[in-house]
Amino acid sequence: MVARRALEALLRGESEAVAPAGPPAPVFVTLRGRDGSLRGCVGSTRPVMPSVAEETARSATLAATRDPRFPELSAAELPSIAIEVSVLLPAEPVAGLEALAPARYGIIVREAAGYRQGLLLPGIDGIRDAETQVAVARQKAGLGPDVPVVLSRFEVLKFREAARAPDAARYSSQSTGSTSAKNQF
């Protein structure tokens, strides 16, 4: 998996040369502890790198080192970390809450007359309805409940590591939409 190789190289103090693969796409990488708890999550709504593979490596490194909620990932932690890669499909504007489904769609809440925005990936534990999803995204953006916002939704192609064997990892992929995924990021 590109994300794990990037983290292994980072923790060895090396830079990982990632072969360009796939078109540019925005990617979020989520790191989870053995118990499923969040350990880091970073990504972007627009691709920064020229390919999805390179974007995945970049987001993995940032999730391990730049998520302000957590200290940097240590080499001792890496074996117990599970990695999820979410490749964002194009966002589409929505008129209201009735067009949202938190298990299927991620959400971007943008300030109507400004630059602040909040993003939530789909399928977040504890977020079961559109009202809660929008409220949490507003909070992430620092937007109060009365600030006018523009809503967009998106689907993701999600790749998750399966149970780790001592020397290798197996990967599974799933889509929250109708597109199937075959690459392993």
Mean pLDDT of 106-123: 96
Least confident segment among 22-26, 128-132, 133-137, 167-171: 167-171
Beta strands 156-164 and 169-175: pairing type? antiparallel
CATH number for the domain running over 2-88+156-175: 3.30.700.20
- Choose the CATH number for 92-154 among 3.90.550.10, 3.40.50.2000, 3.30.1490.150, 1.10.8.10: 3.30.1490.150
pLDDT in tens, 76-86: 999 999 999 99
pTM: 0.86
- Which residue type, as a one-letter code, is found at position 49? M
170 has pLDDT over 70: no
Average pLDDT, the chain: 89
* Token pair listed for 142: 């620092």
Contact 63, 42 (CB under 8 A): yes
169 — pLDDT class (breaks 50, 70, 90) = very low
Mean pLDDT of 81-102: 97
Q: How many CA atoms lie within 13 A of 164 on its CB side?
A: 14
16 — pLDDT class (breaks 50, 70, 90) = confident
CATH 3.30.700.20 occupies which residues in the chain? Answer: 2-88+156-175
